[in-house]
Amino acid sequence: MDCRLFYAQTPERGVVHPFQISTAISFCQHFLSLVLLFTLATSFSAENKQDYIPKLNEFPPPNTGTYIAGELVTVDPINRRGGLRLDGDFNDDRYDKASVHQFAMLPYGMIWYHGAPAELRDIPIGTHLHGRFYLPPEGDKTISPPKGPPQYVPKHNHVILLEDDFSFYQRSGQAWKILSVELRYDSSSKHFPVLNQNGDWQKTPVEGKLKVVPIGQVVNDGLKNEQTFEVDRFTRIWEGNGVIEWEDIAPENTWTMKDNVRSVVLEAQVVQVGLTWAPEWKNQRFHVADIWFDEESRKLATKHQIRVHHRYQLHRGLAAVVEQVKHQGRGKGIVTITLFSGMDNTLYDDFQAGSLVTLCAAEETLRTYWRDHDNKEGSIVGIKKIESPPPGSSGIQLHIQIDELLEGFRRGRIVRVDRTHWPRVKLPPEERVR
């Protein structure tokens, strides 16, 4: 809006009244103030979403936190902590001097691997991960400051969602369409001898390039343009229920050969990939550790991970937060808990009204004490389903009748719950809180 002052002439020889001037100036100032307030509010809102400070016993609002990606280089699966080498940003100094980005999973933080729920122990070192990170909870100083230049490591170090490339892109609806594959059978390196004269391609070391473009629902974060990934003999190529060689991805007569480089164009092949470190990591270059060539291989990978995670939860119980305790006297009461999200639905389905369960206290790391001794049995007297639950919440609330309440069952505390017919075992000593 143009706030220049227009003089209003009056019949009295074109005299401009002071009141008219004051009114025009006041209007312009008021308008500009509104614009400034709106801009600041919008900026604050966007910044507030990224810099939201979570609470360990409360689920965060939707669309908060900040996206961070990198390769898993350290892990403490017992305490649900680890470290990432952050994705490259073409900054040599940062790549050379930056400390590992240490992180801690929030109690309700979710982990996905191969399109299925997972624990940190399931994810191999060297896996490229995507995460939604928050600033540390108020007063939390359990993660030490970086030893390297602080400007190279984000302050957001508590995680609500961590997932590998397979899970991240599949959940987002994005896949990769292969444009071409180039395999070089000769190299200046002594470790890559020239092609065998007998033409036995599969016994010859190879290094090459995989050119792909994204298809489907392109992600907001992560890789979203045409990419060229590095590949070699160490890349696992999954097809059907097994692993194949690069030479098996297309018929022999579709390959072309020039200067010891075999190449093939694949017009309709859609894949998912799992990435890892490449020598030019600082320049956002990646090596393909795994590639799933068809739907069957992807479903098989997911199915296997579901089974691995299912077994883990059956032996430890599902994590939850205590929402309310209704005391009934004589140590009895009804404990209302909300199950955390990120579990296979078959585990949730095992909790029905009237089901017998056991409840035990846990810490923010989800570790329990002597679980087979200090748990308390109860029965589910009610179940409530919450529509559109916040991040970290399954939306499933259980009302459990307990005849002997424990200190660890107070509102805001973390607990684990399981069915009485699940395995009754003593967990490994390193997992127990001493």
Pair 106, 131: CB distance under 8 Å: no
Decide the pairing of beta strands 101-113 and 158-164. parallel
What is the residue extent of each domain of the chain? 1-50, 53-312, 317-431
Q: Is the pLDDT of residue 35 over 50?
A: no
Q: Is the pLDDT of residue 431 over 60?
A: yes
Give per-residue pLDDT as tens, 169-185: 999 999 999 999 999 88
Give per-residue pLDDT as tens, 260-315: 788 999 878 999 999 999 999 999 999 999 999 999 999 999 999 999 999 999 99
Residue 309: which H helix or E strand, with range?
Answer: helix 295-316
Give per-residue pLDDT as tens, 113-169: 999 999 999 999 999 999 999 999 998 989 998 888 889 999 999 999 999 999 999
Q: Residues with Cβ < 8 Å from 271, sequence gap 6 or more?
A: 175, 176, 177, 178, 212, 291, 292, 293
Give per-residue pLDDT as tens, 332-361: 999 999 999 999 999 999 999 999 999 999
List the CATH code of the domain at 317-431: 2.40.10.190
Q: Is the pLDDT of residue 188 over 90?
A: no
Distances (CA, A) of 358 to 146, 208, 393, 432: 41, 54, 20, 17
Q: Residue 408 and residue 370: Cα distance in Å, rounded? A: 13
Query: Mean pLDDT, the chain, as a whole number?
Result: 87
pTM of the model: 0.85
Distances (CA, A) of 356 to 195, 349, 368, 418, 426: 66, 14, 20, 9, 20
